[in-house]
Structures are given as C-alpha cells and as structure tokens.
Amino acid sequence: MVTRFPETPSQTGGPYVHIGLAPQQAGFEIFGNNFGNDLVADDTVGERITIEGRVFDGSGTLVRDALLEIWQANASGKYAHRLDPQDKQLDPTFRGWGRTGADFDSGVFEFRTIKPGPVEADGGRVQAPHICVVVFARGINVGLHTRIYFDDEAAANAADPVLGGIEWETRRETLIAKRSERDGKVFCTFDIRLQDTPDGGAETVFFDI
C-alpha cells in the first residue's frame, strides 16, 4: 500500500488566538502590516456589503473570543488563485480573504467586502453566490467550516449543489444571511449557533470540507 502520512492533528486556537492572528485586538502593535477584516480597496469591483454577525454557544451565550476568517470569489465569481480554471476576470485589487475577532464586549464580528459572483460547479451546475467561513475559538477543537449565502438570491440558492446536498431542508435556512440597509449601507447579518440554543435558534450547518 502507498504510504500516506497522517495529517497533523488540530488543537483549539484557545482564548488568546488574537495574539498571533489579530495582535492589535490582543492589545499591542507589533507588525508593520496587519491582516484584517476589510477586503475592499477603492477600485475593487462589486457591490459593497458588510457581513455582520455573532457567534452563540449552546446556552445562547455570546462567544466573545471567536476568531473568524472568510474566503470568497470576486464580483465575477473568480477566485484569486492559480487553480481557478474559470474563464473570468481577475480583480487585482481583491484577494478574497479576511480575518477578524468578535468584539470582546458586544460579541459582534464584521467584514467589509463585496458580494461575490456565482462560481461554477461540476456537471455544468452553478453555485449560488456564497462566502466560505471558518470559526476558531477556545472550546472548538477543530475549526468549524460553514458558508454564507444571501437571502436576495432565492432562485440561485434553490439550485445550489451544496445547499441542495443538505438533506434536512429546514437546516438550509441557517446558512442564509439577512440583507438590510442602514445609513445607505448594505448589511448582511449572519449569526452562527454552535448548538441549538434555548431561545429556539437552530444549530448552524457545519461542513467537513
């Protein structure tokens, strides 16, 4: 049999994950260039949106020490990566990745980004616009992967192969962000529930990707 080396096991990011991944939030300045939650440059193409949300544990308590990252395609649905074979326009101003911690007081996390375009899937299908999310925190042994979809994309969502692969239709709803406008800005609200919460909040769908 061909040797396959086992993957290095995951461990929790712990409560002080910010020191390494968001040192300014931990309370100090160390790097000249910090990675953050603003994915958009002045000339980035696409509709500006703010993703905002909170993470809740199984008691309904805010997870104030969560660290989140997102990965997404640009406005044309193209990933800034050499393995994306789609014949679509790259946006040189858009890496498609960002990172932030939930606020230590309010528990709110925020990303300033653009709404991604649809990405091709196999069998000639198309994935609805979506943003990949991973959540790390104290108490989470292996980073939890989920996806954000958009409630103004009902038709595309209905045809999405990943959403459609969730057998329990009622659970699909946990992946749909709610769009609203405040002060002329578009917000997409996406709360994450690590377990069903006592107030009736349903556990978010998490993926083994």
Partner 1 sequence: MTIGEFVERDATVHPPALTPGYKTSVLRSPRNALISPRNTLSEITGPVFGARELGEKDNDLILNFAKDGLPIGERLVVHGYVRDEFGNPVSGALVEVWQANAGGRYRHKKDQYLAPIDPNFGGCGRMITDSNGYYVFRTIKPGPYPWANSTNAWRPAHIHMSLSANGWAQRLITQLYFEGDPLIERCPIAKTIPTVEQVRSLIAQEDPANHIPFDARTYRFDVTLRGRRATFFENTLPGAPR
| Window 84 to 113, contacts with partner 1 (CB under 8 A) | 84-86, 95-97, 104
Q: Assess contact for 22 and 100: CB atoms under 8 A.
A: yes
- Taking the complex as a whole, the smallest distance from the CB of residue 29 to partner 1 amounts, in Å, to 9
Residues 54-73 that bind partner 1 (CB under 8 A): 57-59, 61, 63, 65, 69, 71, 73
Nearer to partner 1, 184 or 198 (CB): 198
Site string for partner 1, 20-59 (x = CB under 8 A): xx-x--xxx-xxxx-----------------------xxx
Nearer to partner 1, 105 or 181 (CB): 105
- Taking the complex as a whole, the smallest distance from the CB of residue 65 to partner 1 amounts, in Å, to 7
Contacts of 82 (CB under 8 A, 6+ apart): none
Contacts of 44 (CB under 8 A, 6+ apart): 74, 91, 93, 94, 114
- Taking the complex as a whole, the smallest distance from the CB of residue 154 to partner 1 amounts, in Å, to 20
Residue 110 CA to residue 40 CA, distance in Å, equals: 13
Tokens (6 digits) for 156: 């595309």
Residue 11 CA to residue 162 CA, distance in Å, equals: 27
- Taking the complex as a whole, the smallest distance from the CB of residue 152 to partner 1 amounts, in Å, to 20
Nearer to partner 1, 103 or 184 (CB): 103
Note whether 153 binds partner 1 by CB under 8 A.
Answer: no
| Residue in the structure block whose two tokens are 């925020």 | 110
Contacts of 89 (CB under 8 A, 6+ apart): 74, 76, 78
Q: Binding residues for partner 1, how many (CB under 8 A)? A: 81
